Amino acid sequence: MDINIVTELFHPHIGGQETRYRRLGKELSSQGSSVNLYTIRLSNSLPVKEEIDGITVYRLFEIPHYIHNYRRTARGLLAYTKALHDFLYSSRGLKNVIINQMPILPLLLNCSQIKHIDAIIDWAEYWANIFFSPFFRKLAKCTNRHIVINPEIYQFLLRNRLSNNQICYIPPAIDLKKYRCSVDNKKQGQILYVGRLVKHKNVDMLIKAFSYVSKRATNTRLFIIGDGPKKEYLKRLTYSLNITDKVLFRSHLSDSALVSLMKESYLLVLPSSREGFSWVILESMAAGTPVITVDYLNNYGAKVVRKSGGGIVCKPTYITIAKAILHLLGNSEKWFSLHKNAIEYSMYHDIKLITKKLLRFLSL
Mind listing the pLDDT tens digit for each residue in 52-64? 999 999 999 999 9
Mean pLDDT, to the nearest integer, of 74-92? 95
Q: Where are the domains of the chain?
A: 2-170, 176-348
Topology agreement, domain 2-170 and domain 176-348:
yes
- pLDDT in the model for residue 15: 82
Instruction: Give the per-residue pLDDT at 132.
Output: 87
Q: What is the pLDDT of residues 315-342, one digit of tens each?
A: 999 999 999 999 999 999 999 999 999 9
Q: Distance between CA atoms of 295 and 313, rounded to whole angstroms?
A: 6
- Report whether pLDDT(254) > 90: no
Quickly state the pLDDT bin for 130 (edges 50, 70, 90): confident
Lowest mean pLDDT among 28-32, 60-64, 171-175: 171-175
The pLDDT of 18-43, averaged and rounded, is 95
Q: Residue 68: pLDDT band by 50, 70, 90 thresholds?
A: confident
Cβ-Cβ contacts under 8 Å for 81 (sequence gap 6 or more): 105, 106, 109, 110
Give the strands of the sheet with 49-52, arranged side by side.
Answer: 49-52, 55-62, 34-41, 2-6, 97-100, 119-123, 146-148, 167-169
Q: What percent of the chain has pLDDT over 70?
A: 100
Using the predicted structure, report yes or no on whether residue 16 has a pLDDT greater than 90. Answer: no
Q: Can you tell me the mean pLDDT for 20-39?
A: 96
Q: Residue 277: pLDDT above 80?
A: no
Q: Would you say the pTM of this structure is higher than 0.85? A: no
**279 — pLDDT class (breaks 50, 70, 90):** confident
The CA–CA distances, whole Å, from 287 to 79, 153, 212, 220, 339 equal 41, 27, 26, 19, 9
User: Is residue 3's pLDDT more than 90?
Assistant: yes
Q: Which CATH number fits domain 176-348: 3.50.50.60, 2.60.40.1180, 3.40.50.2000, 3.40.250.10?
A: 3.40.50.2000
Pairing of strands 291-294, 311-314: parallel
d(CA 78, CA 108): 12
* Sign of the four-CA dihedral 100, 12, 170, 281: negative
Strand extents, DSSP E, the chain: 2-6, 34-41, 49-52, 55-62, 67-68, 71-72, 97-100, 119-123, 146-148, 167-169, 190-194, 221-225, 247-250, 267-270, 274-275, 291-294, 298-299, 311-314
Greatest pairwise CA separation for the chain in angstroms: 63
Which residues, including other chains, have CB under 8 Å from residue 354's CB and lie 6 or more apart? 24, 170, 171, 173
| CATH homologous superfamily for the domain 2-170 | Glycogen Phosphorylase B; (3.40.50.2000)
252 band by pLDDT with thresholds 50, 70 and 90 = confident
The answer to whether the peptide bond before residue 12 is cis (omega within 30 degrees of 0) is yes
Q: By percentage, how much of the chain surpasses pLDDT 90?
A: 87
Stated as kind and residue range, the H or E segment containing 342 is helix 332-346
340, 253, 57, 44 alpha-carbon torsion, rounded to 10°: 160
Q: Which residues are bridge partners to 169 per DSSP?
A: 148
